[in-house]
Structure 1
Amino acid sequence: MAAGKIHSMESMGLVDGPGIRTVIFLQGCSLRCRFCHNPDTWDFDGGETIEPQELVQKIARFRPYFKDNGGVTFSGGEPLMQPEFLSETLRLCKKEGIHTCIDTAGCGTGNYDEILKYTDLVLLDIKQVEEEAYRHMTGRSMDHFNQFLQALKDHGTPIWIRQVVIPGMTDSRDYMEQLKRYVDNIPNVEKVELLPYHLLGANKYEVMGIPYPLCGVPAMDKDETANLQKEFFGGYDHV
């Protein structure tokens, strides 16, 4: 049984899937997204070491909160970077009758089939939809993302798409049209969520002594984001 590294745990997540969620933030990520607000999760050597069984026991304690319409969401960092730990933890959660969700950028390693076998929902974070722009945004190629997306299609796993809307980068009507065409070609999408870029994680960079990539970029207007949501993705809400 593979032990894993977790960064932190949130007991009352309200925006991480359906219902009230217990959110587990796993340690480690290979992407360096320009808008990342959790740089403290990048380091694979950080965090708390824990066994799957012990973690599931902790999750099960919150069952009175999430009841029948909530569950557990594995976030990060990038949860797919710890595939053996994730798949075993998911398996044990399903054994306990707990609804499982992964919040992921689709950039991981290992056997996606074993992970998706025990996954009820995937929150799929879209960084960019073209290779060059994706590399500029994340510092990596789209290869791993494309492999995971194909696995999602093969399994028919329900997907909620998430796109951070950043002024001057992903907020144009041209990009929204491009994103909609991209999403329309993914068969199992139930919902699309446009998330306004915010500055809440910027102070972490200062504390960690690393430059903030989007210094000077303002927070995205929430009303404008809501208007884009309604215009381009109003039809994606089958939940």
Structure 2
Amino acid sequence: MAPESVTGRIHSWDLSTGVDGPGTRFVLFTSGCPLRCLYCANPDTWHMRDGREATVDEVMTQIEKYRDFLVTAGGGVTLTGGEPLLQPAFTAAVLRRCKEAGLHTALDTSGFLGARASDALLADTGLVLLDIKSFDVATYRKLTGGALAPTLNFATRLNGLGRRVWIRYVLVPGWTDDEDAVEGLAGFLAGLACVERVDILPFHKLGAAKYDAMDIPFPLRDTPVPDEALVDRVRGQFRRRGLKAH
């Protein structure tokens, strides 16, 4: 099947600066995710059926409208979700077309489905934004409904392939702030030459309204957001391992 005829299910797209890779990004939100993170801000992307079908050509037509601006702004295209690797053929085709168009590409993934990413897909990915939810196996399971091992295996594979990686770590009081777990993750990441930075993302409740609109409970509605002291402590743990933490 020709890449331009590959179809996928997408939720939406947006332009963003600073949180989805370098520069100003065209961010494509794919539909469908195998995990159910308790702090998820986008429950409207969980199911593929809730997205709309789009061809790679349709996506590229939209991206091309912003191409010159994205290049001038030192940005590119980021595929996120949902989980883009739930639709590996579509994701691979979009990444390939963007690379051919001279646009920087980034893939935002939990790594849970990392085995579905072919080496060719990853070769077309300029940067992997890898979301590691917790380094404690039991906590990871409770927090996401999934297993931690696939993500760590994917991180090790990315290192072997020499791909650029930024780690995203959502800091949730009472869930992902355990000092020993953070220390374990920092030690693991310090051993991966591919990791360029670690972004500490403070838990927020900006998606609460979506849960209300969908008439589903927001599990962490009563969980406090982390204060600056906690953010600084966790950031410091990564920095002491020689990692660039933001």
TM-score with structure 2 setting the length:
0.89
Of 49, 61, 64, which aligns to 1:60? 64
Matched, 1:127 2:133: yes
Cα-Cα RMSD: 2.1
Of 4, 8, 28, which aligns to 2:8? 4
2: CA distance between counterparts of 1:45 and 1:211? 20
Cα distance, 1:162 vs structure 2: 0.8
AA matched with 1:19? G
1: CA distance between counterparts of 2:192 and 2:47? 32
Of 33, 44, 49, which aligns to 2:48? 44
Matched, 1:72 2:77: yes
Specify the SS of the correspondent of 1:203: helix
Further displaced range: 104-113 or 124-133: 104-113
Aligned residues: 239
Go from structure 1 to structure 2 and tell me whether the alpha carbon gap of 1:214 and 1:12 turns closer, same or farther (over 3 Å shift). closer
| Greater than 4 Å deviation, 4+ residue runs | none
Cα distance, 1:114 vs structure 2: 2.5
2: CA distance between counterparts of 1:19 and 1:7? 23
2: CA distance between counterparts of 1:101 and 1:221? 30
1: CA distance between counterparts of 2:11 and 2:133? 22
Q: Which residue of 2 aligns with 1:237?
A: 244
Any conservation in 1 of the 2:171–2:201 contact (CA below 8 Å)? yes
**Gapped regions of structure 2 (runs ≥ 5):** none
Q: Which residue of 1 aligns with 2:36?
A: 32
Of 190, 199, 203, which aligns to 2:196? 190
Matched, 1:136 2:152: no
Matched, 1:149 2:149: no
Q: How many percent identity over aligned positions?
A: 41
Any conservation in 1 of the 2:139–2:175 contact (CA below 8 Å)? no
Cα distance, 1:163 vs structure 2: 0.5
Q: Which residue of 1 aligns with 2:112?
A: 107
